[in-house]
Structure 1
Amino acid sequence: MHFDLSDLRLFIHIAESPSLTQGARKAFISPAAASARIKSLETEVGNRLLYRDSRGVELTPAGQLFLQHARLIMRQVDYLKSEFTEYGTDAAGHIRIFANTTAATEFLPEILGDFLAERPGVTVDLQERLSRDIVRGVLDGSTDLGIIAGPVKAENLQVIHFSTDRLVLVTPKDHPLAGRQSIRLAETAGYPHIGLHEGTTLLRFLQEQVAENGNSLNMRIKVYSFEAMCRLVESGVGLAVMPDSAARRHQRTMNLAVIELNEPWRVRERSILLRDLEALPKVIRALIDRLQTYGLEDSGS
Structure 2
Amino acid sequence: MSRETRGPGAADGGQGAHGRRGAREAQAEHGGEPRGHLSHRVPDLGALELLLAVARHGSLGAAAREVGITQPAASSRIRSMERQLGVALVDRSPRGSRLTDAGALVTDWARRIVEAAEAFDVGAQALRGRRDSRLRVAASMTIAEYLLPGWLIALRTQRPDTAVSLQAGNSAAVAERLFAGDADVGFVEGLAVPDGLDGVVVAHDRLVLVVAPSHPWARRRGPLDPAELAATPLVLRERGSGTRQVLDAALSGHGGLAQPLLELASTTAVKAAAVSAAGPAVLSELAITEELASRRLVAIPVEGVLLRRDLRAVWPAGHRPTGPARDLLSLTRG
- Provide the C-alpha distance between the structure 1 equivalents of 2:209 and 2:310, rounded to a whole number of angstroms: 18
The reply on whether 1:115 has 2:115 as its aligned counterpart is no
Per the alignment, residue 314 of structure 2 pairs with 273
Provide the residue aligned with 2:186 in structure 1. 146
Q: What is the DSSP-based 3-state SS (H/G/I as helix, E as strand, rest coil) of the residue aligned with 1:289?
A: helix
Kindly state the Cα deviation for residue 191 of structure 1 after the two structures are TM-superposed.
Answer: 4.4
State the one-letter code of the partner of 1:83.
R
1:116–1:123 CA contact under 8 A, matched in 2: no
Is the 8 Å Cα contact of residues 200 and 313 (structure 2) preserved in structure 1?
Answer: yes
Pairing 1:245–2:245 present: no
2:318 counterpart of 1:286: no
**In the alignment, is the contact (CA less than 8 A) between 2:250 and 2:307 conserved in 1?**
no
The residue matched to 1:126 in structure 2 has which SS?
strand
Quote the Cα distance in structure 2 between the aligned partners of 1:205 and 1:221: 18
TM-score for the superposition, normalised by structure 1: 0.56
What SS does the aligned partner of 1:236 have?
coil
Hey, which bits of structure 1, 4+ residues long, moved more than 6 A? none
User: Which structure ranks higher in relative contact order (CA pairs < 8 Å, sequence separation ≥ 6)?
Assistant: 1
Contact kept? 2:246, 2:309, Cα under 8 Å: no
1:126 aligns with one of 148, 157, 166: 166
Length-normalised TM-score, structure 2: 0.51
| SS of residue paired to 1:285 | helix
**Structure 2 unpaired stretches of 5+:** 1-122
Q: Deviations over 1:2-41 (max 9, x none)?
A: xxxxxxxxxxxxxxxxxxxxxxxxxxxxxxxxxxxxxxxx
Q: Deviations over 1:226-278 (max 9, x none)?
A: 34433332332210001112122332344211123335441101111135899
Select which of 136, 147, 152 maps to 1:96: 136
Q: Pick the aligned partner of 2:247 from 177, 183, 206.
A: 206
Structure holding more strand per residue = 1
The Cα of 1:82 is off from its aligned counterpart by 5.9
Mapped to 1, the partners of 2:195 and 2:259 lie a distance apart of 36
More displaced stretch, 164-173 vs 220-229: 220-229
257 and 124 in structure 1: CA distance in 2 versus 1, 3 angstrom threshold = same
**Pair member with larger Rg:** 2
Secondary structure of the 1:183 match is: coil
- Give the counterpart of 1:83 among 106, 120, 128: 128
Distance of aligned partners of 1:254 and 1:277 in 2 relative to their CA distance in 1, 3 Å threshold: farther
| 1:166 and 2:206 matched | yes
* Aligned twin of 1:256: 297
The residue type equivalent to 1:145 in the other structure is V
Question: Residues 96-152 of structure 1, C-alpha deviation per residue, up to 9 Å, x if partnerless?
Answer: 222222112332234324534764422223223443453454456442112122432
Alpha-carbon RMSD: 3.6
Task: Say if 2:230 and 2:255, in contact at 8 Å, map to a contact too.
Answer: no
